[in-house]
Amino acid sequence: MVDSTGLEQMVCFQLYAASRAMTAAYRPALDAHGLTYPQYLALRVLWHRGPTTVRDLGHHLDLDSGTLSPLLKRLETAGHVRRERGTADERTVVVHPTESGTRLRDDLGDLPRRIACATDLTDDEFRRLHHLLSRLRGTT
């Protein structure tokens, strides 16, 4: 399980660097709308699922309330999101996309595809990368 070329070290650093490079690739388009990449990820969940509790957002994004609470507060201040206490369970907070938040989908919905096209990875390479990263996530 893993040879002795120091590849493990390389892969860990590559993940760290690639992740930052990817969010940097998103930055210009997102900046134009005053969004950050994590905020964009949260909006994508809301576009896909509609009103969602903070808890479920956390499960989808692998983030806890310590990260999400201030992030959602900023999205709310920007007018893209509305928060209200759950009625059945008053511990929960349901996050609703607003008109403004929903409209962002028109401009930013296909951003991942545009970013991917700027890459010169082939279709097949993308699929293999997806598969390998899935295997990685399954075990760490």
> Which residues here bind DNA, judged by CB under 7 A?
16, 20, 23-24, 27, 36-39, 53-55, 58, 62-74, 83, 86, 88-93
Residue 99 binds a second copy (CB under 8 A): no
Taking the complex as a whole, the smallest distance from the CB of residue 51 to DNA amounts, in Å, to 11
Burial of 13 (0-12, 13-18, 19+ CB in 10 A): exposed
The pairing of beta strand 81-85 with beta strand 52-53? unpaired
The sign of the dihedral angle between the CA atoms of 28, 42, 114, 10 is positive
Taking the complex as a whole, the smallest distance from the CB of residue 51 to a second copy amounts, in Å, to 21
**37, 30 contact by CB (below 8 A):** yes
Residue 106 binds a second copy (CB under 8 A): no
Q: Which residues bind a second copy (CB under 8 A)?
A: 1-4, 6-26, 37, 41, 44, 62, 112-113, 115-123, 125-130, 132-137, 139-140
